[in-house]
Amino acid sequence: MYETIDPSFFNAPVIELARNLVGKYIVHERADGLLVVRIVETEAYHGPEDRAAHSFGNRRTKRTEVMFGEPGAVYTYQMHTHVLMNVVGAKEGVPHAVLIRAGEPIEGLELMQENRGNHIKKVSDLTNGPGKLSKALGVTMDYYGHHWTEKPLYIAEGLPQAEIEAGLRVGIGNTGEAVHYPWRFFEKDNPFVSKYRK
């Protein structure tokens, strides 16, 4: 039913990629069921020139290594207790990535509820943030270095985009001029877009 996107899709400038990811599907085929969300919010990270990027200054560490590899690779990292999902973009050797910030559930809502916990009462609270989204989809650090065109976790063509707005990225307060870059892209008026905070 869902077709993996062509690998050439990821070989694009990271700001263009971040915008084009809005509206695409993330599909996770698990033994206990199918989980699908439609991406409604992303952020571009334009390392090595971007002070907010983990790869600023071409910083190459065990954590950032995958960013220097093939476009379309999965870059997962941990922040506090949350796993965050990223899409490596641009071209090999250029450490750019897109953070997937939020998604709208399409299939597997009950499973997402189980993954997040029954204390979550509003459907929009299940996936309206990057850590929430990964947990709802059952995505762990094990997917580091996986490719977004390979099952069981992949990006597929989605529905046509609604109106997309650009804004400031979230939670990057100590990054100099980078706080002012309008590199967050989100679907206008979608209730699953995360709450903006500085």
In order along the chain (198 residues), what is the average pLDDT of each group of 10 residues? Answer: 94 96 97 97 89 77 89 94 95 93 97 93 94 97 98 92 89 78 94 79
- Over its C-alpha atoms, the chain yields an Rg (Å, rounded) of 15
Helical residues (DSSP H) of the chain, grouped into ranges: 14-21, 109-116, 130-137
Summarize pLDDT for 38-69 with one digit per residue, the tens.
999 999 998 888 777 888 767 778 788 999 99
3-state helix, strand, coil in the chain (%, to 5): 25, 30, 45
Report the number of distinct structural domains present in the chain. Answer: 1
Dist CA 31 CA 13 (whole Å): 35
CA angle 168, 102, 174 (to 5 degrees): 35
Residue 192, domain member (yes or no): no
Question: Taking a C-beta distance cutoff of 8 angstroms, is the pair 147, 127 a contact?
Answer: no
Q: Which pLDDT belongs to residue 173?
A: 72
Residue 110 lies in a domain: yes
Domain membership flag for residue 129: yes
Q: What is the CATH number of the domain that holds 170?
A: 3.10.300.10
Q: Report if residue 195 sits inside a domain.
A: no
Residue 144: give the domain boundaries: 7-187
Residue 177 lies in a domain: yes
Residue 2, domain member (yes or no): no
Please enumerate in sequence order all residues whose Cβ is within 8 A of that of 1, keeping only pairs 6 or more positions apart, or say none.
none
* Predicted pLDDT of residue 28: 98
Residue 118: predicted pLDDT: 84
Is 118 contained in some domain?
yes
Instruction: Give the H or E element holding residue 160.
Output: none
Task: Evaluate whether residue 196 is within a structural domain.
Answer: no
Q: Which of 13, 43, 15, 20 lies closest to 155, judged by CA?
A: 20
Tokens of 189: 């008026």
